[in-house]
Structure formats: structure tokens, C-alpha cells
Amino acid sequence: MKNSIEFTVVSDAPHIGKNSEIVALDFDLWNLRLKVGFFEGLQDIEVHYSEVIGFRAPDEGDLLEFWEHFNLRDGWIFRVHKGGWFDLESTRGGFTSAYSDYLKEFLIIGEDLCISVISKDDPVFRQAQNS
């Protein structure tokens, strides 16, 4: 069965090259902060989500069926409208968030790790403090 997924590149995300990796993650019950590093020597980006419903961090190898759709040439963060993790979870009877029409799904892709986020809000971007 061929996977059908609908998505758009998050247009207000900083353009930072073609190679990225999620290098840090911090979660405190409502807020999720990700640090995305870039291999071209550019400034890392912090991505902040508030009012997070859930997130997962699969290895990119566990998302093989989606790689014909997503790649780092097009962007590093995508809004998933249909056919992503939210829809997969919605097949379970106990996933009560399936009945919410205000939730948004995002996918941040890296060379090795990917992060799927279900949130009430759009992400906020800022330059990270590199160490």
C-alpha cells in the first residue's frame, strides 16, 4: 500500500543549508525546545513549541516510507496536514486527541533523528546559543 501524505514546508523557518541534525531536546510538560544543528557552519536554531500534546523521536530509518516525500533539499521542518503520525494514532480507539480539530502536526528532519510534534501552536524560531 502506498502512503499518502500531505505537507507543506514551514515557510517562516530560517533557511540554513541542506544538512541538519537535532542535537538537543528539552521538554517540561507543556513546552518542547529542540536545538537543530547545521553542518555548514551556520548558527544553530532553537525551535520552541508550547502546548505540546505529544512528540516522538524516531530514527530516520524507521520512516523509510516517507523519504520519497521529505528530504533536506526542500527544507528541514514541515507541517503535516494528512497521512502522518497524527493520522496513524487516530486509528487507535484510545487516542482522544483525534477528535480535536485545532491540533497541528510538524515533522523536523535530521540526518539521523527526526522529531514529530503534535501541538496547539506553531513553532517559534530563534538563534541558539552555540557551545
Res. 1 pLDDT band, cuts 50 70 90: very low
Contact predicate 46/34, CB 8 Å: yes
Residue range 67-105, pLDDT digits in tens: 666 767 778 899 999 988 887 888 888 877 777 888 999
pLDDT exceeds 90 at position 124: yes
Q: What is the pTM of this model?
A: 0.86
Given a contact cutoff of 8 angstroms between Cβ atoms, the answer to whether 55 and 117 are in contact is yes
Q: What pLDDT does 46 receive?
A: 93
Q: How far apart are CA 56 and CA 30, in angstroms?
A: 15
pLDDT at 56 over 60: yes
